[in-house]
Structure 1
Amino acid sequence: MYAELFRLDGRVALVTGGSRGIGLACAEALGEAGARIAISARSRDEGEKAVRHLAGKGIEALYLPADISSESAAQAVVKQAAAELGGLDILVNNAGIARHGDSLDVKPETWDEVINTNLTGLFWCCRAAIETMVAAGRGSIVNIGSISGYISNLPQNQVAYNASKAGVHMLTKSLAGEFAKNNIRINAVAPGYIETAMTQGGLDDPEWSKIWLGMTPLGRTGKPSEVAAAVLYLASDAASYVTGSVLTIDGGYTIH
């Protein structure tokens, strides 16, 4: 009985930023559970490479190019996925960027780039998906937040990124309350330091990595698959009574 709750046979899932790292792992996890998969990413080369990777795992996936920092592109890619795959049951909002730097040095274009991609574009994707899910009478959205939505990281300064992820957490709760009546569950995960291209620079820095790992009780970085497993849970019927939650996956970093 319980294993069946995690199955997604016959459902359609779109993963934004699905060409690598956490996004690709999420696409793989949902595909293995039986969902039909669409992924979006800005880079066509990376998107097509991801589709080939998934095919090697026996998962057929559709690649849709999109830069979700644009309102029109964000809504269009969600609607395209639903049109081409016959609906949309699951949306995983993973597309995101990080920019480090002192707050007094942040340029307006850098602030806009981070906020538009990580928060504003995520909202437009949610809204387009919700429109489809309301008509269907069900749906599940999982947003990729961050421990940076709870704490201000050390030693790097990243004010725009932190603000964007705090916004993702509150946006998740707000939408969850608004659309629970439509049987649409909206949750988020808050990863800590995960082994991805986004964190590799920091992990390669002796000062940064010493602090990152030293503040993580489990004493290691996480793997994309460990985040993807939580996303699968939240997307599936195993989490049928879970909405408005932010599940932290950080090796204990935020218990301090």
Structure 2
Amino acid sequence: MSAPVPKIEFARPTAPPPPFQPQDKDNVQGESAASARFSLKGKVAIVTGGSGGLGLEACRALLEHSVAAVVLLDINATVGEAAAEVLRNNYPTGTATFAAVDVTNTEAVTTAVNAVVKVWGGVDILVAFAGIVKSEDALDMSQAAWERVLDVNLTGSFICAQAAAKAMEAGGRGGSIVLIASISGHAANFPQPHVNYNVSKAGVLMMVKSLAAEWGRYGIRVNSISPGYMNTVLNEGDGLNDHRKIWIERTPLGRIGGVDELNGTVILLCSDAGKFITGTDIKVDGGISASI
């Protein structure tokens, strides 16, 4: 006789977030309601890999939508401090600070998140851009090269998500976590060989589903964005001219994405406009993943 199946109960310590209501519909109408839907006023955001490229542009967008503070976490202290200074000068109504952190170091990440909580009273948003890539044929790839990319892109994303989620759960106000996946997590890159990168981003996609399923009861939403080929430093250089030609030819919109073209999706997922979105991935790729 088989043992009885134990009953599993899912406690909900945090009330589910209510739907967005510009309700006071009598008092909030038109442009005011539209602005309120996408407002991040008073929110505290952490952005990993926020010192340049897509991450820095996302920091700009968060400040444009009135976050109280954005904290950049990056491994390069010189570049990070300079980026935070630029943000402070350009967005004086918000606060931008920087902490040098290796996202693969659990203790360092936890310390940085705890410092944010101590200063700002909590964390509302995490956007995890930190990642690396290196093209290398799978036949020649060392175990160290394999592990390094997975450590940063996959394990690092989990470490940061876990630390932010602990702060969100402890604060009792929920939050939004946005991980950066890639079209490379949906299909293998062409023509460059990227097995470790592709696998790391496919892992991010499943991690988002898993964390969203677990953390929804704390009012924490977890989503990802899958960029296509974007105009970042990773895709620059004369050595990639032939590759860029192929990427553009395979992209229905006929171009590479601009560094600011993830911003709308970031704001959607972090604001009340996306309050019922969790466990999903949004491709921002010019349509390249829509065709074979």
Q: TM-score, normalised by structure 2?
A: 0.84
Aligned to 1:194: 230
The 3-state SS of whatever aligns with 2:188 is coil
Give the partner amino acid of 1:52: E
Amino acid at match of 1:89: D
2:249 equivalent to 1:217: no
Does 2:78 correspond to 1:45? yes
SS in 2 for 1:243: coil
Percent identity reads 40
Verify the 8 A CA contact 1:142 1:186 in the aligned structure 2. Answer: yes
1:132 aligns with 2:128: no
Does residue 1:152 correspond to 2:188, yes or no? Answer: yes
Equivalent residue number for residue 6 of structure 1: 38
**Quick one: which of 48, 55, 72 aligns to 1:23?**
55
Amino acid at match of 1:124: I
Match of 1:168 among 175, 199, 204: 204
Which among 34, 42, 63 is matched to residue 66 of structure 2? 34
Structure 2 residue ranges without an equivalent (≥5): 1-32
Q: Select the structure that is richer in helix.
A: 1
2:276 to 234, 241, 244: 241
2:151 aligns with 116
Distance in 1 (CA, whole Å) between partners of 2:133 and 2:282 is 21
Partner of 1:208: 243
Report the AA paired with residue 53 of structure 2. G
Q: Secondary structure at the match of 1:2?
A: helix
Q: Is the alpha carbon distance of 1:112 and 1:71 closer, same or farther for their aligned partners in structure 2, counting shifts above 3 Å?
A: farther
Separation in 2 of the partners of 1:75 and 1:97? Answer: 21
Q: Which residue of 2 aligns with 1:180?
A: 216
Query: CA shift at 1:48, angstroms?
Result: 1.2
Offset of residue 198 of structure 1: 1.4
- Of the structure 1 ranges 77-86 and 234-243, higher mean CA displacement relative to structure 2 is found in 77-86
Whether the 8 Å CA contact 1:16–1:41 is kept in 2: the answer is yes
Residues of 2 paired with 1:82 and 1:94: CA distance? 20
- Structure 1 residue 110: Cα displacement: 1.2
Higher alpha-carbon deviation: 234-243 or 79-88? 79-88
Contact 2:135 2:194 in 1 (8 A): yes
Structure 1-normalised TM-score?
Answer: 0.96
Offset of residue 72 of structure 1: 2.2
Which whole-Å CA distance do the structure 2 matches of 1:196 and 1:49 have between them? 18
- Which SS does the other structure have where 1:72 is aligned? helix
Match of 1:54 among 65, 87, 94: 87
Cα displacement (A) at 1:167: 0.4
Shift of 1:191: 0.2
Structure 1 window deviating more from structure 2 (96-105 vs 75-84): it is 75-84
Instruction: Tell me the distance in 2 between the aligned counterparts of 1:71 and 1:16.
Output: 14
Cα displacement string for residues 159-194 of structure 1 (whole angstroms, at most 9, x for unaligned residues): 110000000111011100111111111100000011
Instruction: State the match for 2:18 in structure 1.
Output: none
Matched ranges for 1:79-98 at <5 A: 79-98=114-133
* Alpha-carbon distance, 1:102 to partner: 0.3
Maintained 8 Å contact 1:143/1:188 = yes
1:86 CA displacement: 2.2
Paired residue secondary structure (1:69) = coil
Q: Secondary structure of 2:57's match?
A: helix
Would you say the 8 A contact 2:113–2:167 is kept in 1? no
TM superposition outliers: structure 1 runs of 4+ over 6 Å:
none
Which of the two has higher C-alpha Rg? 2
Q: How big is the shift at 1:73?
A: 2.2
Contact 2:104 2:159 in 1 (8 A): no
Q: CA deviation at 1:204?
A: 5.2
Equivalents in 2 of 1:128, 1:94: separation in Å? 15
Task: Name stretches of at least 5 consecutive residues in structure 1 with no aligned partner.
Answer: none
Deviations 1:16-63 (A, max 9, x none): 000001110111111111111100111111101111221232143010
